Chain A
Amino acid sequence: MATAFSPSNLTATVPLHGSQENRLLLPIRLAPPSSFLGSTRSLSITSSRRLNHSNAARRSPVVAVQEVVKEKKATNSLLITKEEGLVLYEDMILGRSFEDMCAQMYYRGKMFGFVHLYNGQEAVSTGFIKLLTQSDSVVSTYRDHVHALSKGVSARAVMSELFGKVTGCCRGQGGSMHMFSKEHNMLGGFAFIGEGIPVATGAAFTSKYKRDVLKQNCDDVTVAFFGDGTCNNGQFYECLNMAALYKLPIIFVVENNLWAIGMSHLRATSDPEIWKKGPAFGMPGVHVDGMDVLKVRQVAKEAVTRARRGEGPTLVECETYRFRGHSLADPDELRDAAEKAKYAARDPITQLKKYLIENKLANEGELKSIEKKIDELVEEAVEFADASPQPGRSQLLENVFADPKGFGIGPDGRYRCEDPKFTEGTAQV
């Protein structure tokens, strides 16, 4: 039943011959990209000795090995067109400006609860979601504002949701960690670690079911976003197994920002190279620089195409970094200043800007005008959210059930939801 490795650019299957002893002596077959430091090395700043030791101790045979995205020299063949480049730039600027505005609004008391910002990780959301169609699904985590924006939910709707207003994408009933949009197939932010992965797998299962059983012409794919901390949770492994077993059209995207709140990835995970879990389950595993939207996009393109063709799931580890604390309530005291500075210097937006200008895909003026446009858009979203009304009292009892008869029967023997006072929120339930 297990899926055989499909020949793909993403995987190079390397069968290891020879005796068991020889195998154990073989080093991990990794092809590190020339200009990108893998997660283990990049983190060796703080714990190099321990890490080297643990790596040596854990050296084990890896049967299938990916090739990290090949470096493309700046030749005539550019990675993107001008139009694509501007779309990516605009989406990343939107993500960044929106989140910066959220921080301001949070400190001004306009939004409340837990607010987790996405700053620094924009290349991942943009790199994947801008390749999707409206009917493709996205499942996110508690850090979900920017995934929703990339998927096409308007800044107004997301901001209003954060303000707890009736104009929000969930009428103020979801909140920061629960962005849903049926129209955009944004299937939610999930607040618990690992919780979204099975749900995403179920959405991918549906695409396959539509094809195989309902005989519909469906090639929708699902992208599940989650962090490095989630990769130590059982649901991740359960779903890697079933997605590969059933050959589901899903891409598991690990946004490895190296920290699970204050727990370093290296302190939490026995083998920090998450992408290696892919081949272990019979799917390609890819490691990509998550600070470079063009590299992410290239990997994403291949994984999405593969899923659409019915060739099954892919695990993509995007090494990235969050520029802010875990949430706006996190004092962020455990992360090393040098580490933060190192990643700040690799800001994904600056990198894209540089690429666009160096390759004459855009000039400063064009990019400035995008920035201005987004600034105005975000400002306008705040004004809109601020001016929007709070949910009415009647909304309290709405939407608990799709069929409100679930509230049962009242003392008068009729369904409670038929009581005229029910929608006033005053009927006893």
Chain B
Amino acid sequence: MWGIMRQRAVDGGLAASSLRRTRSALVSARSYAAGSKEMTVRDALNSAIDEEMSADPKVFVMGEEVGQYQGAYKITKGLLEKYGPERVYDTPITEAGFTGIGVGAAYAGLKPVVEFMTFNFSMQAIDHIINSAAKSNYMSAGQINVPIVFRGPNGAAAGVGAQHSQCYAAWYASVPGLKVLAPYSAEDARGLLKAAIRDPDPVVFLENELLYGESFPISEEALDSSFCLPIGKAKIEREGKDVTIVTFSKMVGFALKAAEKLAEEGISAEVINLRSIRPLDRATINASVRKTSRLVTVEEGFPQHGVCAEICASVVEESFSYLDAPVERIAGADVPMPYAANLERLALPQVEDIVRAAKRACYRSK
């Protein structure tokens, strides 16, 4: 337990140091009068929660270290000061307990935003996410809906070993009654988190620790407090005609880099950012595959029964006759995450892997 605590403290410390960098980004982003604005994912998430708390007094935040510590990754920075301890609850380290309390509060009409310090800890509370939150609207025949958001960093971090590095997208996306979102950019983070908080159903919101400090251009529209993205709609991040690359979260950045490299070799790749893992935007995926006739899927999670597997199934079912090549599936290695930096790199999809798979799909390599 202390090992974990120390690890968490270190994470927090790292987050805090990177925050110093990002705070200036926020200040500058907000002080721009015109021109291209930028925002970090961290500030996007923070401002989304802030605005929704300010708009609806039923919205509150609970979790470990969300208050006085300002969040282990500083996502809830400033909220305690602004909204007070009655709306920013520092809980003991009791995932099953506080997640269940959040679910019960949602039953009774509040709109909790439950933070998991990382989604790895949600396994201690998975019973409440699935049994108490996802199933209640159905079991009660619509009498009791559960407007709750479970959010936190998901997926592989860096050098934290097997128990702290895992993607839960496929786990939660297999459960009816849940909506599962995974933002990539600052715009995604703002628009999807605001949509999640306003949604009447339980939403699992999978962030990525390594994206928190990344800055993205952000539009005026996305900075508006009424901004919201539709749940269930994917975004075509880059249009192309030769091959479709479908992915989500951090891997969208990798796919975009891969697309640039492919362009240098004359291959035009279309990159789809899923944004929503459940519901899955099969329509957008299939329309793209029908255009390009080739599919590469990318995820950090385990390959078996993964999000990629589901996308491949959907394309085989709906667009089989349009395919000119076997679908390519790139996933994390089928092993618990190793600690050693070189092995960890091998266990995760890299830009080169995506480039290679896309070329294979286009019959441009072996």
Contacts and interface: CB of A to CB of B under 8 A. Distances in A.
Same complex: yes
A245 B105 CA distance: 17
Given A170-B140, A235-B97, A406-B179, A198 B103 contact: yes
A174 B140 contact: yes
A409 B281 contact: yes
A198 B99 contact: yes
Contact of B100 (A171, A172, A195, A245): A195
Given A203-B108, A206-B105, A238-B97, A192 B60 contact: no
Most chain B CB within 10 A, of A178, A212, A235, is at A235
A257 B265 CA distance: 74
B97 A195 contact: no
B303 interface: no
Nearest to A411: B283
A213 B57 contact: yes
B232 A205 contact: no
Contacts of A405: 231-232, 279
Nearest to A191: B131
A201 B101 contact: yes
Interface in A173-187: 173-175, 178, 180-183, 187
A423 B282 CA distance: 20
A406 B232 contact: yes
B60 A187 contact: no
Interface string A387-425: 000000000001111110111111111010000000000
A214 interface: yes
B352 interface: no
Given A209-B105, A242-B92, A411-B282, A195 B131 contact: yes
Nearest to A245: B92
Interface string B117-135: 0000000000110011000
A399 B138 contact: yes
B171 to A, nearest CB: 17
Interface in A203-239: 203-207, 209, 212-214, 234-235, 238-239
A137 B108 contact: yes
Contacts of B51: none
Q: How large is the interface on B (under 10, 10 to 19, 20 to 34, 35 or more residues)?
A: 35 or more
A200 interface: yes
A183 B144 CA distance: 10
A191 B280 CA distance: 30
Q: For this complex, into which size category does the number of interface residues on chain A fall?
A: 35 or more
A188 B86 contact: no
Nearest to A212: B86
B199 interface: yes
Contacts of A408: 232, 276, 278-282
A406 B201 contact: yes
B237 interface: no
Nearest to A189: B139
A402 B179 CA distance: 11
B257 interface: no
Interface string B313-350: 00000100000000000000000000000000000000
A250 to B, nearest CB: 10
A214 B109 CA distance: 12
Nearest to B105: A202
B136 interface: yes
A10 to B, nearest CB: 24
Given A195-B131, A201-B100, A209-B110, A403 B199 contact: yes
A182 B283 contact: no
Contacts of A128: none
Interface string A12-23: 000000000000
A315 to B, nearest CB: 15
A334 B344 CA distance: 53
Contacts of B86: 209, 212-213
A123 interface: no
Contacts of B142: 398-399, 402
A197 interface: yes
Interface of B: 57-58, 60, 86-87, 91-92, 94, 96-110, 127-128, 131-132, 136-145, 147, 176-177, 179, 199-201, 231-233, 276, 278-284, 286, 318
Given A198-B132, A209-B60, A242-B92, 13 more contacts: A170-B143, A171-B141, A173-B139, A178-B139, A180-B143, A204-B104, A235-B96, A239-B97, A239-B100, A399-B142, A401-B201, A406-B177, A406-B231
27 contacts: A170-B140, A170-B141, A173-B139, A173-B140, A180-B141, A181-B143, A187-B107, A187-B108, A188-B107, A188-B144, A195-B131, A198-B101, A198-B103, A198-B104, A201-B100, A201-B104, A202-B107, A205-B104, A206-B108, A209-B105, A214-B57, A238-B92, A241-B97, A242-B92, A398-B142, A399-B141, A402-B145
Q: Return the 8 tightest CB-CB contacts between A and B, nearest first.
A: A202-B104, A198-B100, A408-B279, A238-B97, A180-B140, A402-B145, A206-B108, A199-B104
